[in-house]
A and B are shown apart, each in its own frame.
Chain A
């Protein structure tokens, strides 16, 4: 593979007007479009810019983790049935639509309502809202700033996993590093949890594409010299900047509603496959985080709290104990930080820290970035049965695409343990628990 130019991209971002302090890169950083994946940059609200490339095509791609009352011993003999039930119940894969077909008017309601829309329509519990970053609703969303094509793409994709590196994974808590925080989060060794990784689907990609094209077209008007066209941006305090922000908010809400529906289907699949009641299952949302977003946040800069527009592209918010936006039940310990691995490698739960707030605009990594291109991964897995290999490692994988499985082999990604150790060692977020994968549904 040719040299990954991620570091050059970090340097390019540093040239953007109104950037505060520094352009940052998380330990899982790699090449992206304009901004690197794993990039964090914060901008002054008057002089600074907002850039679709600093958010990513998959606006509010993120993940959520759910805990259950089940333990490994409860499901070990039924794991195959459970993964199969999830594969059938949760739409995944290329071109696969969801069971919900929405009219344009209803899509617009999702774009302003987010998780609240989903819960109000029977797809979840009130408690799920509190355990979602920002309560699952991004303020300032304006569906009138979203193109008809984007709305059209959102009509039949709500409640679908997508393809590529999106997944739904059954995991078991393998190791607890911080007993006190784990207890607050409701995690214990041997407990069954589920991780969902998905985003705003075609609607989000289209919004990013629409605004990137518009900003490229008008780049000359801004007077901003761009080292890379993909860094096309607009002043936050401009008409175009405000329109993108409110369209991005719409996509963020769509993604939250999407993950809320995916969780609802997961609850139903577990209950049906295992023949248990919701009470026995006890599937509770631990937390939902976004890792592709731009937000207006109050952050400490040289001892003062300043409102900034922080871009996190492949990076996760990691707020400390005592912060008012952390759910009340977690406020004594800090915000859960969910770091998914790739297919079949499990994940980590960490907790946010004061160091992250002061050093990285309240940010940590989002996962383990790729080290191998898709073509290399396919070449490397030619003639091998990825499903059989994963099964030998104790992970049942079901996917609608053999090609996707080949591209998503564990060797294609950085070692998640190493990435998390760096984050933990740097004090950005503290390890709480490590989870091992048992079963995975991939698109």
Chain B
């Protein structure tokens, strides 16, 4: 699994790690939607382009995750994978692949109320990148 859950008193903490920043974003997307639904039943039928802005790496990650959650809440779209086309500390351009929710095919496991800034971190280490964020459930 490209992500791990860590302990938090009331909610769900997520850790992602990988050699590239682009991979981190894909893992974070998979974490959010893997917690929300059963991703094995989701196919990549549609691709949606997205541009995100942020004050810094961590703010950018949180804004990316907020946009993913909005895709679910507003459009009932389930993201299976994310391809990052361009990334700087302040801007991200990506393609999100997945499909619209079908109650006959897709199981929703849990409500995610919000993506929080609590304990968010995104750091570059010798082994690559490590990211951390907490979801309010």
Within the complex, the shortest CB–CB distance from B79 to chain A, in Å, comes to 17
- B118 contacts the other chain (CB 8 A): yes
Known: A1-B9, A374-B12. A403 touches B109 (CB 8 A): yes
A57-B113, A57-B114 known; A373+B7 contact, CB < 8 A: yes
Tell me the residues in window 3-43 of chain B with beta carbons closer than 8 Å to chain A beta carbons. Answer: 5-12
- Select one of B9, B55, B70, B109 contacting A216, CB under 8 A: B55
B117 at interface (Cβ–Cβ under 8 A)? Answer: yes
Residue A104 CB within 8 A of the other chain: no
How many positions in chain B have a CB within 8 Å of any CB in the partner chain?
29
**Of A206-214, A348-356, A424-432, which stretch is located at the interface?**
A206-214
CB of B88 within 8 A of chain A?
no
Bound-state CA distance A374–B13 (Å) is 10
Also in contact, A370 and B113, with CB within 8 A (given A149-B70, A205-B136, A206-B73): no
User: Please, which residue of chain B has its CB at the minimum distance from the CB of A149?
Assistant: B74
Q: Which residues of B contact A209 (CB under 8 A)?
A: 66, 114-115
- State in angstroms the CA–CA spacing of A216 and B113 once bound together: 18
Residue of B59, B66, B110, B115 with most chain A CB atoms under a 10 A cut-off? B110
Asked if B102 is at the interface of the complex by the 8 Å CB criterion, the answer is no
User: Nearest Cβ distance between residue B11 and chain A, in whole angstroms?
Assistant: 7
Quick check: is B44 within 8 A (CB to CB) of the other chain? no
Stretch at the interface among A29-37, A129-137, A255-263, A305-313: A29-37
Does the CB pair A94–B111 fall under 8 Å? yes
Most buried by A among B7, B9, B120: B9
A230 touching B111, Cβ below 8 Å = no
Among residues of A, the one whose C-beta sits closest to the C-beta of B53 is A217
A37 and B55 in contact, given A57-B114, A149-B70, A230-B116 (Cβ under 8 angstroms): no
Contact check, A33 vs B55: say whether CB atoms are below 8 A apart. Answer: no
CB-based contact A152/B117 at 8 Å: no
Which of A213, A228, A376 is the one whose CB lies under 8 Å from B63? Answer: A213
Contact code string A229-272 (vs B, CB < 8 Å = 1, else 0): 11010000000000000000000000000000000000000000
CB distance from B123 to the nearest CB of A (A): 16
In the complex the two chains form, is B110's CB within 8 Å of A30's CB?
no
Contact present for B9 and A205 (CB under 8 Å): no
**71-100 of chain B: CB within 8 A of chain A:** 73-74
The answer to whether residues A216 and B117 also contact, given A94-B111, A374-B137, A403-B109 and a CB cut-off of 8 A, is yes
Asked if A58 CB lies within 8 Å of chain B CBs, one says yes
The reply on A202 being an interface residue by CB < 8 A is yes
Check A37/B10 contact, CB under 8 A, given A57-B113, A403-B109. Answer: yes
Instruction: Check: B48 CB closer than 8 A to any chain A CB.
Output: no
A371 and B10 CA atoms in complex are apart in Å by 8
- Residue in A30, A34, A58 whose CB lies within 8 Å of B9: A30
Report the 10 A-B pairs with minimum CB-CB distance, sorted nearest first.
Answer: A373-B7, A205-B113, A229-B117, A1-B7, A230-B117, A31-B9, A94-B111, A33-B118, A95-B108, A33-B116
Query: Can you spell out 20 A-B residue pairs with CB atoms less than 8 angstroms apart?
Result: A30-B10, A31-B8, A31-B10, A33-B118, A33-B136, A34-B118, A37-B10, A57-B113, A152-B74, A164-B137, A202-B73, A205-B136, A209-B115, A212-B117, A228-B117, A229-B59, A232-B117, A370-B10, A371-B9, A374-B11
Interface residues of B (CB under 8 A from A): 5-12, 55, 59, 63, 66, 70, 73-74, 108-111, 113-118, 120, 134, 136-137
